[in-house]
């Protein structure tokens, strides 16, 4: 996870054009019906990834079991937050984590989840590069809704999995093998790490939390 830049603000134009979760889901459905996906790469591979991700998001949304500790933290937020997420429909990591973000945000009406397509918003993406070099997604930027100041940043994947990814990539393992390992990890973890990490970040802001 990247370190938040205290006082960094997000321009209102990004929030104005950001989508709700429901609009994002419908966008994916509409694009697939037309044989397309988000972003400039309209290859068969990316469309296939998008089809798989649509199924994953539906499955996770139906089966997610929220952790009581995470529920308590999210429900204790008393000042409005906006969770702005950079994503693309073909991104496997996004498919695993965005339904979790949606479920957590839904616990509290003061938390709004909004989504932006990465490749349509590269100036913003390039302010949130992973390790200063990679346009990895999803990237969650949590904001104080009133001031648009950054509260915390999360992504592109849970910390333990990011360590595995970096190690495998550093060893020169082929990308398809890395993807398979990531998928196995997500299946075994069952959204627990994403829930725990996001809850910890929310609690760590110490802003707008009930005692």
Determine the average pLDDT of the residues in 192-204.
Answer: 97
123 SS3 class = helix
Quick: pLDDT tens for 114-128: 999 999 999 999 999
CA-CA distance, 112 to 115, in Å (whole number)? 10
Q: How confident is the model at residue 205 (pLDDT cuts 50, 70, 90)?
A: confident
CA-CA distance, 90 to 93, in Å (whole number)? 9
DSSP string computed for 117-180: EGGG-HHHHTTS-BTTTB--S-EEEEEETTT-BEEEEE-SS-HHHHHHHHHHHHTT--HHHHHH
CA-CA distance, 114 to 127, in Å (whole number)? 18
Quick: pLDDT tens for 83-104: 999 999 999 999 999 999 999 9
Determine the average pLDDT of the residues in 46-54.
Answer: 98
Q: If one looks up domain 12-205 in CATH, what number appears?
A: 3.40.30.10
């Amino acid at each position: 996870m990247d370190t938040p830049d205290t006082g960094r603000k997000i321009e209102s134009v990004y929030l104005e054009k950001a989508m709700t979760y429901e609009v994002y889901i419908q966008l994916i459905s509409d694009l697939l019906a037309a044989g397309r996906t988000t972003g400039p790469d309209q290859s068969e591979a990316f469309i296939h990834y998008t089809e798989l991700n649509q199924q994953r998001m539906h499955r996770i949304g139906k089966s997610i079991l929220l952790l009581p500790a995470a529920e308590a933290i999210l429900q204790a937020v008393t000042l409005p937050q906006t969770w702005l997420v950079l994503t693309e429909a073909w991104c496997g990591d996004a498919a695993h984590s965005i339904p979790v973000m949606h479920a957590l945000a839904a616990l509290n009406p003061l938390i709004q989840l909004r989504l932006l397509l990465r490749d349509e918003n590269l100036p913003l993406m390039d302010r949130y590069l992973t390790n200063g070099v990679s346009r990895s997604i999803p990237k969650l930027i949590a904001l104080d809704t009133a001031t648009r100041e950054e509260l915390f940043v999360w992504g592109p994947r849970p910390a333990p999995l990011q360590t595995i990814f970096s190690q495998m990539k550093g060893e020169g393992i082929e990308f398809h093998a890395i993807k398979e390992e990531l998928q196995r990890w997500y299946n075994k973890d069952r959204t627990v790490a994403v829930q725990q990490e996001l809850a910890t970040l929310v609690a760590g802001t110490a802003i707008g939390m009930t005692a």
